[in-house]
Amino acid sequence: MRERVIDWVCAHKLIVVAFILLALILIWLWPVSVYSGNAADIEKIHLFDGNTGKSVSITNREEIDKIVTSLQKVPLRRSFDLRVLIPSDGIALEFVISKKNSNEKSRFQICSDKDVKKTFLYHAYQNEFPYEYYKSLCQSTQQE
């Protein structure tokens, strides 16, 4: 009788551990967005091109709306990229989104046309990202 109770307890512990692992895997695979805020709350977007050294601050409402819409359309997924352990040589594009009436800023880096560094984790694109469009903004707009 005692062996059955021990087997039952072990089986339940195994089921709980399996559910916890499944939940962690689902959280890891759940897509995240580059920027999930409201475009109306943004004062400016500062964009820096690390390849050319050019930067631009975008304050035009139409341009901000277009950029935020494009950022929200691209879901990202986390990746097991070992580059997070190695110091970065530089960045391709860096976004700093400043909100109105707040010191809060959202920062992320577009490392290539294949990935984004939003936190310490690299996120791979699930859809096509308008990388060239963002690079052209730094080239065509007056620098700051």
pLDDT tens-place string over residues 67-115: 888 888 878 777 766 665 565 566 678 888 888 888 888 888 887 766 7
- The identity of residue 53, as a single letter, is G
Please tell me the distance from the alpha carbon of residue 127 to that of residue 33, in angstroms, as a whole number: 11
How many residues are given for the chain?
144
Q: Kindly report, residue by residue over 12-40, the tens digit of the pLDDT.
A: 888 999 999 999 988 888 887 777 788 88
Through-space distance between the first and last CA atoms of the chain, rounded to whole angstroms = 78
- CB distance 29 to 79 below 8 Å: no
CATH number of 33-140: 2.60.40
Angle between helix axes 61-73 and 131-140 (nearest 10 degrees) is 160
